[in-house]
C-alpha cells in the first residue's frame, strides 16, 4: 500500500510574506530602539551631573571649606567649556584652581549626541560654601540635543541652597520660559 508523504516546508510566497513582515517589524523596532537609547543616555547624563553636584555640596559641608565645580584647563584653572571633563576640588583660597593640585572627583563629559553649556554669567564654575550653599552667584547648565529626535532640552539650575534640579522642555520647541520671564534656548 502506498502512502502519500506530506512534504514539509514553506512555499516561496510564504517565505516572501514572512520576510516582508519581519523587515517592517525590524524597521519599527530600530526606530523605537534609537529613541529609547537617546532617552536613556540623557537620563544617565542628568544623573551623573546630579551626583557630581551632590558630592561637591556634601564635601563642602562636611569639610567646612569652599568647593568648586568646573572644567579645568591644562593650567588647572576653571574654564567655561563644559564639553571637557568636569572636576570637583577644594578651593579654600578661592582662586578657581585645586588647592595642592588635588581633585576630589573628575567626571568625563561623555555627552554623546548632546551639548552642554553653562549659564553662569561667563564664570564657568559653581562653588559651594562651608554650609553647602552656593558661594557667590547661582547658575545653571543647559543640556541640548544636537538632533531634536535624540532628546529634549534640559535646564539644570543650582539654587541658593545648593540644590540641583532638572526641568525639561515640555513642548519640545527648544525654548523654555523660566518662572521670572527669562527665556533660554539651545
**pLDDT number for residue 39:** 81
Arithmetic mean of pLDDT over the chain: 87
Whether the CB-CB separation of 111 and 86 falls below 8 Å is answered with no
Whether the CB-CB separation of 130 and 90 falls below 8 Å is answered with no
The predicted-structure confidence for 87-98, as pLDDT tens digits, reads as follows 999 999 999 999
- Which CATH homologous superfamily contains domain 33-185? minor pseudopilin epsh domain (3.55.40.10)
Q: For the chain, give every domain's residue range.
A: 33-185
What HEC string does 3-27 produce?
Answer: CCCCCCCCCHHHHHHHHHHHHHHHH
**pLDDT number for residue 97:** 93
The predicted-structure confidence for 162-180, as pLDDT tens digits, reads as follows 999 999 888 888 888 888 8
Assigned C-alpha cell, 143: 543640556
Give the span between the Cα atoms of 50 and 166, in whole angstroms.
Answer: 9
When mean pLDDT is compared across 64-73, 147-156, 166-175, the lowest value belongs to 147-156
The predicted-structure confidence for 109-126, as pLDDT tens digits, reads as follows 788 888 999 998 889 999
Give the span between the Cα atoms of 62 and 44, in whole angstroms.
Answer: 26
Amino acid at each position: 500500500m502506498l502512502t502519500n508523504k506530506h512534504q514539509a516546508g514553506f512555499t516561496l510566497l510564504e517565505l516572501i510574506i514572512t520576510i516582508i513582515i519581519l523587515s517592517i517589524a525590524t524597521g519599527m523596532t530600530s526606530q523605537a530602539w534609537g529613541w529609547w537609547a537617546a532617552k536613556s543616555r540623557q537620563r544617565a547624563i542628568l544623573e551623573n551631573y546630579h551626583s557630581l553636584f551632590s558630592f561637591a555640596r556634601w564635601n563642602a559641608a562636611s569639610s567646612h571649606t569652599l568647593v568648586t565645580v568646573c572644567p579645568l584647563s591644562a593650567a588647572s584653572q576653571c574654564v567655561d567649556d563644559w564639553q571637557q571633563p568636569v572636576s570637583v576640588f577644594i578651593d579654600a583660597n578661592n582662586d578657581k584652581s585645586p588647592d595642592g593640585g588635588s581633585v576630589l572627583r573628575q567626571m568625563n563629559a561623555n555627552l554623546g549626541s548632546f551639548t552642554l553649556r553653562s549659564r553662569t554669567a561667563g564664570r564657568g564654575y559653581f562653588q559651594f560654601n562651608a554650609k553647602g550653599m552656593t558661594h557667590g552667584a547661582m547658575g545653571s547648565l543647559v543640556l541640548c540635543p544636537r538632533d531634536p529626535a535624540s532628546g529634549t532640552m534640559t535646564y539644570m539650575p543650582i539654587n541658593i541652597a545648593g540644590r540641583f534640579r532638572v526641568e525639561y522642555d515640555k513642548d519640545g520647541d527648544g525654548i523654555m520660559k523660566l518662572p521670572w520671564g527669562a527665556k533660554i534656548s539651545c
